Homo-oligomer: A and B are copies of this chain.
Amino acid sequence: MRERDYIRYLRGFQNKPKEVLVGIGDDAAVIKLPRKDLYVLTTDMLLEGTHFCLKGGRDTLQRAPTSKCTIADVGRKAMACNISDVAAMGCRATLALVAISFPVFTKMGLARRLFQSMRQTALEYGVSIIGGDTISGKGPLCICITLLGRAEGLRPVTRSGARPGDAILVTGSLGGSILGSHLSFQPRMREALYLNKNYNLHSMIDISDGLSLDLGHILEESNVGALLLEGDIPVSRDARRLSRKTGLSPLHHALTDGEDYELLFTLDPREAERFLKKNPLRVPVTLIGYIRREKGLFLQSADGKLSKIRPQGYEHR
């Protein structure tokens, strides 16, 4: 396919919200940000063989963590990952730039399906694709999406605000995403906005690397430690199914699998109680532990025994 033809095709599908004065087709997009607000900017790169493997594609890498998927899955995931990053800040994703490096000899049909999938996912979340770059070369498919989000008068929620005593909460259930949810997950943007609007969140992150590792990021940035309650961690059905194949415990999968794209956040325990009493969100939210002054991440079993978890996985002392 010719890149120029592809760009012409993309322009035909452009939806330009009123704050976008110039969209696809110039040296840069021009946007008007009239309100005195805070904005967030994030970029995420997805590479074939590392983050996804296409059905009928070339040989997969040893480290490829995912099952094989369609080009529509890839488009969806690329956009959804980025939206999840904006959600993790408690903000609303609004505008996207999409850069794609296609392998040489990519067919127009595949390129169109990729774009339509990204566009559809963007639309579902109110995001407009307003620009990007399309290149091709001797390499696997590589997608880099940049998202602009706005705080809507709220305070963006960082990783660095967790305080000793905070309750640690998580949306949904965790583990086993490789069985499918790493492609079909719903970025928790509406949930994050609701939470940020109605509660004083101290810290938040989306779970992409796995509960223990992503909580580790919060602990490191906030200079605190945490205690997780083993029995309260919401282990997904897929974590249990996967456990039967791997021989590892469902809990292990819930703690370390990654790509759940659930929200992990901390707030004052009274605030947490107030929220959990009514949780009006469509997704379950679980209190899974507490932030502590003492550094390190600990797991408390039902019988009260403490074990230290390493960031990447976990091990009993």
**Residue positions of A touching B, CB distance < 8 A:** 21-22, 25-34, 36-51, 61, 85-86, 88-89, 91, 95, 97-101, 130-133, 135-140, 142, 144, 146-149, 151, 156, 158-160, 204-206, 221
Contact = CB atoms under 8 A, between A and B. Distances in A.
**Assembly of this chain: how many copies?**
2
A144 B45 contact: yes
Contacts of A221: 25-26
Contacts of A160: 26
A41 to B, nearest CB: 5
Contacts of A146: 41, 43, 97, 146
Contacts of A99: 43-45, 144
A99 B49 CA distance: 17
B51 A27 contact: no
- Most chain-B CB neighbours within 10 Å: which of A28, A34, A50, A101? A28
A203 to B, nearest CB: 10
Contact of A132 (B30, B33, B43): B43
Top-6 shortest CB links A-B: A50-B137, A28-B42, A144-B144, A28-B40, A27-B88, A139-B139
B50 A41 contact: no
Contacts of A39: 30-33
B42 A97 contact: yes
A244 B272 CA distance: 75
A169 to B, nearest CB: 17
Contacts of A138: 49-50, 61, 140
A204 B51 CA distance: 39
20 contacts: A27-B89, A27-B159, A28-B85, A29-B40, A30-B40, A30-B158, A31-B41, A36-B36, A42-B131, A43-B131, A43-B133, A44-B99, A45-B100, A45-B144, A49-B139, A50-B101, A50-B136, A51-B137, A139-B140, A142-B142
Contact of A130 (B41, B95, B137): B41
A52 to B, nearest CB: 11
Contact of A29 (B21, B41, B45, B159): B41
Contacts of A28: 40-42, 85-86, 88-89, 91, 147, 149, 156
Nearest to A99: B45
A135 B146 CA distance: 15
A38 B32 contact: yes
B27 A42 contact: yes
A51 to B, nearest CB: 7
Contacts of A149: 28
A151 B201 CA distance: 35
Given A26-B89, A89-B26, A97 B142 contact: no
B42 A29 contact: yes
Contacts of A34: 36
